[in-house]
Structure formats: structure tokens, C-alpha cells
Chain A
Amino acid sequence: MPDVFVAPDEEKKVVMHKRTPLPSSSKQSQQKTPPKAAPKEVPLVSSEFLKNPPGGLSSDAIAQTPEEHHGIPLFTAFWQNPKGISFDTQEADEHILLFLRQHFITNIPWVTATILLMLLPFLVVYLFSLTTHPFSLLPPPFIFPTFLFYYLIVLTNAFTNFLKWYYNISLITPQRMLDIELKDLVDKKITATKMSLVQDVSVQYSGTLRTIFNYGDILVQTAGPIDNFVVNATPKPEIVVRTIEELIGKGREGEQGSGV
């Protein structure tokens, strides 16, 4: 049975997986926040829930958390408050809260296939060496270029799969959600939706790997004829859901405030 985390529209709907304590950095950031800077907000959920979100940071905490990554972000799948990343339609005051890719574990199938294909020529040569058949499918001058070309094709296939993962990015800013996708190396798809149009958000974990490595599919339902957002295999989905849910709440409060 899939383990489903439902966005907390009401406190009753919240299904918590693990109640983990906040990281020390977020605690410090919350402590450092001056009381007068905190705006008067009508919380959508109880204060206890806001103090201890289910395994995640709030959007404010993420905004105050220093960037969290180690080394070159070539294989980063989850990056809070990223620095140095920008997109072409970004506004001057628009800050990226979350930078998401699919969990790196999703690359295991093509990585395994690549390793096996790289070992295949050695296996073929070994098998031929066991028989009396001479290894002469090709004339001798072409054997080395053929091997080199074979490895070039195998590595190109791996590189292509890596690029599909590398350029499949979701960004969450206080104003909107963006989904950037590179399909088949020739098609690119960029989808964006405003946070004010987001109706609901949910996450689905299904499968053993997803439970073990803590990643899941996030479904963001939008209003009107706009297609729903689906962010597949996102690491730490509870933090993502929590962030989006807070941003939706702020958007609604802003609309109500401006209406009055």
C-alpha cells in the first residue's frame, strides 16, 4: 500500500511519517529572527505543527538557511536556498527556495547497463580465447578503431542519460514553480505556474526503494485548465510539500488581505 503524505489543508488531513527534530541551522535561524520582523499571520495549522513540521523546514527557514551542498553541484538532487543558480525569466527580487532533480538513485539502471556494456568486449575476447576460433571478425587495422568507437557509443549513451537527468529540474520560488525538462536531447519543455494558482499538493511514495531512500512523486494541483505539476522522484519530499503548502497559504492570505 503506498504511503501517502497529504498536504495539510486542515490539521486533520496531515499524515506524518516521522517527526524529526529541526536541524541546528534552522533552529539558529529561527532564534536569530527578531520578534518585530515577524508579520502577523493567521496560521492555517496549529502552532505546534508549525514549530515541528514533519521532517522539514518552513519556507522562511529555507530562505534563511545558508546554501546546503558540498563541492560542485553536478550530482545535486536537492538544494535548499541555492546560490549561483538563476533562470532566464527570473525577476530581480525572485529568490530560488528549492532546486530539485530526481533522486540520483533513479540513474542506477543506466549506470548498471553502461558498466555491463563496458565489460562486454572483454568477455567476448575471453570467450574467443577459449575456443580455437581466431578472433578475426574484422581486418586487423580496424579492430582498435572498432573498439574505440564501441566505447564512444556506450559512453555517449551514458552521457545522454545523464543529461536527461541533469536538465530535468524543478525550481520553487516564493512566486512560482518551474519545471525544466530536456527530452530526447532535441526537445526542451519549460513549464511554470504561479503559486497563487496552486490548489493542493500531495506526495506519493510507492515502492521499497522510495521508502528506503526517502524520495517520492509530488503532485501539485493547479486551478483551471492548467496542467497539474508532477515532480517525479524528488528527494526529501516532505520538505518540498511543506514549503509549497506554506507558499500557497501565504498567497491566499495575501489575496484576502488585498481584498479587504
Chain B
Amino acid sequence: MGFNVNSFDLITFFQGLRPLFFIKWIFIIILLGYVLFQLVVFRQIKSMERVITQPISSSIVAFVSLAFIATSVILIVIVWSIRI
């Protein structure tokens, strides 16, 4: 019953790992973290817009923030579509 320590072979375990698979998922996790960060930035921009209203320029700043989010989402899709 349970995990048999004696049957666990460390060398076999590492040989069985597929580095590309891990690179892909590490990429995706980092990019998801990045999207989260950009969402916080976008929210903060909107919050600052309420504090001080500036004509047009605030919209440009918010648009740039959204462009970053969109780019990172596209990057996630690209990495996701990589076949290992």
C-alpha cells in the first residue's frame, strides 16, 4: 500500500522527465503571473483616473496596458501550441 521507497529510482525518474514539457509549463506559469501583474496595473490606472482626470492621455495609458495584456495572452497561446 502506498508509495514504495525501495522501488523509486532517482536516475530513472530524471531520465523520464521531458525538459521541453517543463520549459513549456514554466513559460505558461510565468506568463500567467505576468497577465495577473498587468491586470493589477490596469486596475491601478483606472483607480488613478478616478483620482485625477486627464483628457485623452489617460485613455492612451490604459490602452497601452491592455495591449500588454493582449500580447501576453497571444504569447501564452503561442507557447501552448508548441508541440513537444
Interface residues of A (CB under 8 A from B): 72-74, 83-88, 138-139, 141-142, 144-145, 148-149, 152-153, 155-156, 159-160, 163, 166-167, 169, 171, 180, 182, 185-186, 188, 190
Contacts and interface: CB of A to CB of B under 8 A. Distances in A.
A84 to B, nearest CB: 4
A85 B45 contact: no
B27 A142 contact: yes
B82 A74 contact: no
Interface string B17-34: 000100110010011001
20 contacts: A73-B55, A74-B56, A87-B51, A87-B53, A141-B20, A141-B83, A142-B27, A142-B82, A148-B71, A148-B78, A152-B68, A152-B71, A156-B34, A163-B45, A166-B57, A166-B61, A169-B52, A180-B51, A185-B41, A186-B44
B52 A86 contact: yes
Nearest to B31: A149
Q: Does more than half of chain A's interface fall in helix, strand or loop, or is it mixed?
A: mixed
Which residue of B34, B57, B72 has the most chain A CB atoms within 10 A of its CB atom?
B57
Interface residues of B, number: 34
B48 A85 contact: no
B24 to A, nearest CB: 8
Nearest to A166: B61
A148 B51 contact: no
B36 interface: no
Nearest to B48: A167
Nearest to B61: A166
A188 B44 contact: yes
